[in-house]
Chain A
Amino acid sequence: MKRRDFLKMSTMATLAYSINGNPIHAYGEDHLLSMIAKTRGNNDNILVLIQMSGGNDGLNTIIPLDKYSELSNARANILINQPDVLALSGQANTGMHPAMTGLQDIFNTGRMNIVQGVSYPNPNFSHFRSTDIMFSASDSNVDIDTGWIGRYLDFRFPGAPLNYPDPNIFLDPLAIQIGSSISSLFSGANGLNGLAVSSIDNFYQIVSGTVDPAPATPAGHELTYIRFIAQQTQSYTQVLQNAASIQATNLAPYPANNNLADQLKIVARLIGGGLKTPVYMVNIGGFDTHDNQVDFLDPTHKTGEHANILTKLSEAIAAFQADITLMGKQDKVTGCTVTEFGRRVKSNASVGTDHGSGAPMMVFGTKVNPTVIGTSPNIPANATVSDNVPMQHDFRQVFGTILVDWFDIAKADAEMILNGNQFQMLPIFKYAVGTDNTPLQNAQHALEQNFPNPFRSHTTIRFTTSGGMVQILLYDEMGRMLKVLYENEVPAGTFDVGVDRSALPAGIYYYQMHISNKTFTQKMVIVN
């Protein structure tokens, strides 16, 4: 058997295996299904994860203005002076830390989605354990030593990492972490599916991160020799070099003395240079603000250690967004902040906050739904030291939504990657690809998957509504609106809309239902 055939077969096997109970052979024989297998999950979308190490104080980052008096009771010694809080357009209840003008602008220009109260049941207050839970996407009482990105890459690239790069399948690094370090997030079944890249201008460092200068001794002579060979034989050196030379400079200015900005500069150049790597991770530390979180001499509390790192975070992300926009890559990149936990509602006497649980997540990019998902955290009128920001969303809903809507994999596969955790999708993305439109909290409308799907000539779309003006539009894979499928004022009830293929070519389409300012999207596939 040729290697390529073998890989093809293992691709099928992995896909089939991933959907528990479905017969493996179906993928080899059924044209419709194999069409899905071929087209799904291989878009060139990119995810940039920004790890905020230490546990970010969400309440001083995304500030619930409607809970200001409760916060005044709980954390007077660190609470940001209300007039200084940055306003977010259309969000009367939510503001941002005054240091984050760059992120405010991103939100106000429709490029940020904020998910409130992200945590997991039975939160753990250990940095390490909580990081491991986040990265492995496990329940807090389960130990798993692979990461969800590592497993996603195992799923998408069978045989990773040993079989890659493969000129027939994927040439670029499967994931890149900027810096010398590498995270368990990238651990797959057979090892690390990620590459650590510390510099793209010094190619020694692609292999092993930063290196010490070689001494002028025989040992240094041999060390240099080995480094040359390592550099030249590192499977990905050439593609990284190519990308870095195609995008030889950054197009937007970045802030100086900002380690996160330095990392994002590299990410932007690799993306600008055409690298198809789907996942990047960068890191910014310093969020473990047990003391001196704010400058207590500043009555507005808008300065201090937390303000300093939020400034770095905000300026770096703003520069990065500007940069990839100038490079024309803005529609292909979604960023997402991750922190191991939020901090306690009540501040401590050291002008800081201790380890907590829930925290907001910021997802940014042109494709995100520019809103706040969830409500302001519920803050007790008289918070005690044990009060935490309650969970509104499980972090796996965010990761799962990214897998389904951004990386375009089936929800069942996303659940497999997330250790079998079934999750409800969140409306994080504007043009949700495979959005599970089951009603979210009191929603009154639902758009179901068309049936049959995929289809050759004719299919049916079913929706349920409590009544109103309903519009269903058809989009192609590129997001271009093709036609109006349905437009009518309807009473409450469930309706079936027949759809004729007409002259549409085979491929992937999306249909979107608009009703009372709400949007629901589903994907459909036409085959010959």
Chain B
Amino acid sequence: MGGSNRREFLNNLLPEKLKKETEYDITKDEIFLKYSNKTSPLNLKKSRAGLSQYTGSWGEKEKIHLLRRTMFGVTPANLTSLNGYTMSQAVDLLVNATPPTPAPPVNYYESIYPDPTGVLLGATWVNAPYGDGTVNYYRYLSTNAWWMKNIFKQTMSIQEKMLMFWHNHFVCEENVVGDSRLQYKYLNLLRTHCLGNFKTFVKEITKDPMMLFYLNGHYNIKNSPDENYARELQELFTLGKGANMWTEDDVKAAAKVITGFRADTVNLTYTFDPAKHETANKTFSAYYNNYTVIGQIGAAGENELDDLLNMIFNQSQTAAKHLCRKLYRYFIYYDIDANIESTIISGMATTLINNNWDIKPVLLQLFKSDHFYDSLTMDCVIANPVDYFLGMSRALSVPIPGAIGIVDETRAYYTLAYLCQIVGMDPGNPPSVSGWPSYYQAPQFHEMWINSDTLPKRMKYTDAFFTNNGIYVSGNFNIKCDVIAFAQTLSNAYDPDILVSDCVKYLLAIGLSQTLRDSYKMILTNNLANSYWTQAWTDYINNPGNVTYENIVKNRLRLMLTKLLQLAEHHLS
């Protein structure tokens, strides 16, 4: 189905309270233009620490920094699970973990729209026939819900963060391709290779059926080559763009190399059609040392792809640095000055090349480095919308119990995805093949996440987490924070000082002064001595089911958290 009426269809299905969001144009946002970076933040003090292994203090601050950057939000349980781990072991754990593959998304929509291909309620549709546009749309919602649930339920692993990184790198837009089965395959491919080998990953994404549709590889045939993929392969996926690099003729030549790959929408894989493959030799420019990919006949034509990728990856410094800059901007900070380029980026690139394009060694080195734990590197990432809403939901232990049933559970998760969408990041639909501008648009970069449209919405929907009505999911379920259950995940809810400090620790970057923590504590204590809160919490704990005691602590926790999460520090990671 087309992208234009999909949005309309989406809006018709969405919860009442989330409708009515209007189109927003950042180029006309005078407030954003006034305050965001005009140039790179030149006068900022930046870390000069390098990539040698960090040997400094390894306390809660460093652990939370590592967890925030490698996962979506930090829960007290996540922090506790690093007890007994050295810094190096903690990074090994997060990077090397192999979380189980999540079960595929299923038909939750049967009672709303019976699956025309015969998929039963609760059964997966990922290998079923396409059906029609409507069922595809419900499958899209179920995919988004599945994705958000995977993030929400993530175990100690960098996997989900890396999956999102690659989604922003090897972009496919669901509303351009319009086949949720292909989107699922694509997301699975990202999951399979997100911590694997970069070169292999490029090869596999080239043949991915969703990508074959998205960048027209499917239509790239002998005598009528389509250059779309061949260009982005070089410009976005591997080498980047610059002076004295690959040429327009190289785009044409590369396109010819990869003619004949076809997306198979029945078996949901690619095929290679030798009859559509250009068998002539393809000679590249001086940039590639006038390399020639020798034309192959028949099924062997497919192997020209390896030849092409070998040639591209022979520009090893360029390819490695291009990827490492993107990793740096995603995980560390957007501003790469000459010093960071010459020490960090170069160092990461060398590691990538020396490890024959394996990604893990680069991540292990980066997250174990002096640079990563330098205080100048901490807390400076503006959380992207998924990091913001999913991270907050995880940190607050927002309940989305399976017991609400598959329909409401699915709705709850795609409602979270929708919150991300209305503040500028629609998972599955980056705005273009370049990904989200926050990761490439100089000089504002991450600041683009926060503008006069998105910040009030972030704050408005955050407030809603602490109301009775919450965020509407269905007549039976709303997303909201169970503040008492959350407080019970913290180290000591009896002590209002510790309670506020814990909330600050898990929910705000940078931290807060004692004076400010005291002012938030006063919401809990009614401006009185700490002992009154302690008594209130004790009364609640000792009298399960007593609504009066419950409301006393619930109301104060809600007010305190509402106020606390309005702070700008809540948007940083």
Contact = CB atoms under 8 A, between A and B. Distances in A.
Interface of A: 53-54, 126-129, 131-132, 143, 145, 162, 179-184, 187, 189-192, 196, 207-212, 215-223, 225-230, 232-235, 283, 285, 288, 340
Interface stretch (B49-57, B274-282, B443-451): B443-451
Contact of A184 (B375, B559, B569): B559
Contacts of B469: 189-190
Contact of B526 (A131, A180, A187, A211): A131
Contacts of B535: 126
Given A143-B548, A162-B460, A208-B563, 15 more contacts: A126-B536, A126-B552, A145-B468, A179-B519, A180-B520, A180-B563, A191-B464, A192-B562, A196-B563, A215-B510, A217-B379, A217-B380, A218-B333, A232-B31, A235-B456
Interface string B512-547: 110110011011001111001001100000000001
B566 interface: yes
A191 B467 contact: yes
A225 B450 contact: yes
A285 B527 contact: yes
Contacts of B528: 53-54, 127, 285, 288
A181 B518 CA distance: 11
A217 B526 contact: no
B569 A225 contact: no
Interface stretch (B40-48, B227-235, B316-324, B405-413): B40-48
15 contacts: A54-B528, A126-B535, A181-B519, A192-B463, A215-B510, A219-B380, A219-B572, A222-B380, A225-B37, A226-B382, A226-B455, A230-B459, A234-B456, A285-B527, A285-B528
A192 B512 CA distance: 24
B380 A208 contact: no
Contact of A127 (B526, B547, B563, B572): B526
B552 A217 contact: no
Interface residues on B, range: 35 or more
A211 B564 CA distance: 11
B555 A222 contact: no
Contacts of A126: 535-536, 552
Top 7 A-B pairs, shortest CB-CB distance: A218-B380, A219-B379, A226-B568, A285-B527, A219-B380, A228-B35, A53-B527
A284 to B, nearest CB: 9
A261 to B, nearest CB: 17
A218 B552 contact: no
Contacts of B378: 217, 219
Interface in B417-474: 446-447, 450-452, 455-456, 459-460, 463-464, 466-469
A219 B452 contact: no
Contacts of A143: 547-548, 551
Contacts of B35: 225, 228-229, 232
Interface string B379-421: 1111000000000000000000000000000000000000000
Nearest to B469: A190
A208 B44 contact: no
Contacts, number: 157
A183 B532 CA distance: 17
B509 interface: yes
A82 to B, nearest CB: 32
B376 interface: yes
Contacts of B36: 225
Contacts of B566: 207-208
B32 interface: yes
B329 interface: no
A184 B553 CA distance: 12
A328 B404 CA distance: 58
Contact of A283 (B381, B527, B568): B527
A127 B533 CA distance: 10
Contacts of A196: 563
Nearest to B451: A229
Given A128-B536, A132-B552, A212-B516, A217 B45 contact: yes
A187 to B, nearest CB: 7
A283 B35 CA distance: 35
Contacts of A189: 468-469
B556 interface: yes
A393 to B, nearest CB: 24
Contacts of B532: 127-128
B554 interface: yes
A288 B562 contact: no
B446 A222 contact: yes
B563 A181 contact: yes
Nearest to A186: B559
B41 A218 contact: yes
Contacts of A234: 456
A211 B520 CA distance: 12
Given A145-B554, A211-B567, A227-B568, A190 B467 contact: yes
Of listed A181, A228, A288, residue having the most chain B CB within 10 A: A181
Contacts of B377: 218
A143 B540 CA distance: 14
B160 interface: no
A161 B216 CA distance: 48
A218 B46 contact: yes
Of listed B36, B375, B548, residue having the most chain A CB within 10 A: B548
B335 interface: yes
A181 B523 contact: yes
B473 to A, nearest CB: 16
B167 interface: no
Contact of A229 (B31, B37, B515, B562): B31
B319 to A, nearest CB: 28
B571 interface: yes
A212 B512 contact: yes
Contact of A217 (B376, B516, B548): B376
Given A127-B532, A181-B563, A232-B452, A218 B44 contact: yes
Interface string B461-495: 00110111100000000000000000000000000
B515 A210 contact: yes
Of listed A131, A216, A219, residue having the most chain B CB within 10 A: A219
Nearest to A196: B563
A129 B548 contact: yes
A221 B548 CA distance: 44
Given A182-B562, A184-B559, A229 B44 contact: no
Contact of B519 (A180, A221, A232): A180
B517 to A, nearest CB: 10
Given A132-B555, A207-B566, A223 B468 contact: no
Contacts of A219: 378-380, 509-510, 572
A209 B564 CA distance: 10
B251 to A, nearest CB: 37
Nearest to A191: B467
A468 to B, nearest CB: 50
Contacts of A229: 31-32, 35, 450-452, 455
A131 B533 CA distance: 13
A192 B463 CA distance: 9
B533 to A, nearest CB: 8
B36 to A, nearest CB: 7
B547 A221 contact: no
Contacts of A288: 528-529
B178 to A, nearest CB: 32
A186 to B, nearest CB: 9
Contact of A128 (B464, B510, B556): B556
B376 A223 contact: no
Given A162-B460, A215-B510, A222 B559 contact: no
Contact of B568 (A127, A183, A208, A285): A208
A182 B551 CA distance: 16
A226 B452 CA distance: 10
A53 B547 CA distance: 24
B522 A132 contact: no
Contacts of A127: 526, 528, 532
Contacts of B555: 132, 145, 184, 187
